Amino acid sequence: MILGTTFVVTLAVAFVTFFVMAPKYESTTQLLVNRKLSADMQAAQLQQTQADVQMINTYKDIITSPTVLKTVDRQVSNYPGYPGSMGALKKDISVSSQQNSQVFSVTVKTTDPYTSAAVANLTAKTFKKKVGKIMSINNVSIVSPASIEKSPVSPRKTLNLLAGIVVGLLLGIGFAFIREITDTTVTSEDFLTDTLGLNSLGIVNEIDQDEVKKRIYNKQEIYGSTNPGVAPQPSQRRV
């Protein structure tokens, strides 16, 4: 049961991984927003840098807002691997940043590597254009544009198969344990006599009906008629 369950679950996971789940490709572009200070405010440069870092959360909200995504969605709606709607496109875009860094990354994951790169670059360009009007910021730089990555990032086939083996093994052990503790079949005559204190009255022979017919047929061929007084040798089974 353990081996069978492990095999079945692993086979199911392999089928889903290789034939059901669509591979996804990821592309990332990096942006830098650095608000310029006037000459008399240069002494406050450090405070301004810290403020820019704290503003990254605001930039994240702007990037995933309809103000930016409407423009992007309109331009990529006919691309292969397009998610299907602006809401689905928003789920495929993630924005991340390192601690105390003014640079943040826009990562796009779709089922087509070219679409992922195109969406990431369009999002960065649209943000650069829109944020100046929204927040009066004119110093947005695209540090590195998104490149086409032809190696899928998901599904992770090896990881999925290992997970399938582990889950199947655990399920198999669980099923085997449940079957063992719920099995009330008596498999030993000693259990009846020693554990339960009962008397063994004998052994009931079990004969398969097909075997009976086969043996009778063979005797008919040998003797030319049925000999009811001769019974086939039965296999023995303790009960």
Segment 163-217, tens digit of pLDDT: 999 999 999 999 999 998 888 887 778 888 888 888 878 777 778 888 888 878 7
Asked if 57 and 83 touch (Cβ cutoff 8 Å), the reply is: no
Nearest CA to 142 out of 107, 104, 115 is that of 104
The pLDDT of 70-82, averaged and rounded, is: 92
Provide the whole-model pTM.
0.66
pLDDT digits 0-9 by tens, 6-29: 999 999 999 999 999 999 999 999
Q: What is the pLDDT of residues 26-58, one digit of tens each?
A: 999 999 887 655 555 545 555 555 666 677 888
Structural contact between residues 65 and 151, judged by C-beta atoms closer than 8 angstroms = no
Q: Which of 25-29, 52-56, 63-67, 115-119 has the lowest mean pLDDT?
A: 52-56
Q: So what's the architecture of 22-154 in CATH?
A: 2-Layer Sandwich (3.30)
What rounded mean pLDDT belongs to the chain?
83
pLDDT surpasses 60 at 235: no
Both tokens of residue 18?
A: 């290789």
Residues 87 and 44: their CA atoms lie apart, in Å, by 40
| Residues making up the chain, counted from first to last | 239
**For 13-44, b where at least 16 C-beta lie within 10 A, e where not — what string?**
beeebeeeeeebbbbbbbbebebeeeeeeeee
pLDDT band per the 50, 70, 90 thresholds, residue 134: confident
